[in-house]
Amino acid sequence: RQPKIQISHVICNNLTSTHILYEKEMLLLRLYFFLSLKLVILDTSVVSLTTTMNTAKSYIPPAWAVQKLKNAPIHGRLSLASLPTPVHQVSTTGILSELSKLNITLYIKRDDMSGGVELGGNKIRKLEFLLADALAQNCDSLVTIGGEQSNHCRATACAARMVGIEPHLILRTRKKEEIGMVGNVLLDRLVGSSIYTCTPGEYGRVGSDDLVNRLCEYLRISKGKNPYGIPVGGSNALGTWGYIQGVEELSLQTEEKKIDHVVMSCGSGGTTTGIALGLQLCPTFEKTKAHAVGVCDDPEYFYQTMAQIAEDMGLITNGDENDTGSIIVDMMKRCVKIYQGKGLGYAVSTPDELEFCIRVARDTG
> How confident is the model over 260-276, as pLDDT tens digits?
999 999 999 999 999 99
The pLDDT tens digits for 205-238 are: 999 999 999 999 999 999 999 999 999 999 999 9
The pLDDT tens digits for 178-195 are: 888 999 999 999 999 999
Residue 277's pLDDT band (cuts 50, 70, 90): very high
- Whether the per-residue pLDDT at 340 is higher than 60: the answer is yes
> CA–CA separation, 206 vs 201, rounded Å?
8
CA dihedral 99, 100, 102, 108 (to 10 degrees): 40
Q: Other C-beta atoms within 10 Å of 237: how many?
A: 20
The pLDDT tens digits for 4-62 are: 333 443 444 445 454 444 455 556 566 555 554 444 443 434 444 444 788 999 999 99
Q: What is the DSSP string of 172-205?
A: E---SS---S-HHHHHHHHTT-EEEEE-HHHHHH
pTM for this entry = 0.88
Active-site annotation holds for 150: yes
pLDDT for position 2: 36
> CA–CA separation, 166 vs 150, rounded Å?
18
Stretch 103-128: mean pLDDT, rounded? Answer: 96
Q: Which of 150, 208, 235, 251 is catalytic?
A: 150
- Whether the per-residue pLDDT at 323 is higher than 80: the answer is no
